[in-house]
Amino acid sequence: MYHNIVLVGMMGSGKSTIGKQLATQHNLHFIDTDTEIETQTHKKITDIFLSQGENAFRAIETAYCSTLPDKKNHVIATGGGIVLAPENRIYLRQTGYIVYLKATVETLLDRLSKDTSRPLLAGTDKAKKLADLLAQRDTLYQNLAHTVLTVGTQTPEDIGAHIWQHYTRKTQ
């Protein structure tokens, strides 16, 4: 029995858009870990990276992640790097049914080429950075997830319907 649905994957893979849609459709609560961190710290993620650095952000992220196993009836969109810390992977497993939204670098780049809200992509070659991050994380996402769904051209509704099918099959 899984109490929540947890979406993992790279920035730009559609976790928030798909998660919101899925939650609305099935009358579940929606949370985005980055938004929760911004609310709690009263700072934008970019500002945390700039003023305190990535390690400080990761510590805040882990502290927040440790609260997730207490949730019920939520769809949870997670920050792309949440899977890096081994303790986070344990918390996420305790939280619910995990879906990896897997996208190619081309898809991610297409969606993020004009984005300015991701500090890891600021002032760098976005294509190379995304390829490096994906190479580093793909196996982590894959090993953690109960289901891997390839995303690209389908609508959020279509992907949401697939997630729901997998989730209900596992919880019945």
CB of 82 to ligand S3P, least distance (A): 7
Residue 87 to residue 94: CA distance in whole angstroms:
11
- 19 scored as a contact of ligand S3P (CB under 6 A): no
CB 32 within 8 A of CB 16: yes
- 98 scored as a contact of ligand S3P (CB under 6 A): no
Instruction: Please identify, using beta-carbon distances, which residue of 58 and 172 lies nearer to ligand S3P.
Output: 58
Stretch that binds ligand S3P, among 91-99, 117-125, 138-146, 164-172 (CB under 6 A): 117-125
Pairing of strands 4-8, 29-32: unpaired
Torsion-angle region of 10 (φ positive above 0: left; ψ -120 to 50: alpha; else: beta): beta
CB of 162 to ligand S3P, least distance (A): 20
Can you state the angle between helices 126-144 and 86-95, rounded to 10 degrees? Answer: 50
- 6 scored as a contact of ligand S3P (CB under 6 A): no
- 119 scored as a contact of ligand S3P (CB under 6 A): yes
Residue 114 to residue 93: CA distance in whole angstroms:
33
CB of 26 to ligand S3P, least distance (A): 21
Stretch that binds ligand S3P, among 66-74, 91-99, 112-120, 147-155 (CB under 6 A): 112-120
Closest CA to 95 of 1, 17, 2, 12: 2
- 79 scored as a contact of ligand S3P (CB under 6 A): yes
DSSP state of 55: H
Q: Of 14, 19, 81, 160, which one interacts with ligand S3P (CB under 6 A)?
A: 81
Q: Of 5, 18, 23, 45, which one interacts with ligand S3P (CB under 6 A)?
A: 45
- Beta carbons within 10 angstroms of residue 138's beta carbon: 15
Residues that bind ligand S3P (CB under 6 A): 11, 15, 34, 45, 79-81, 118-120
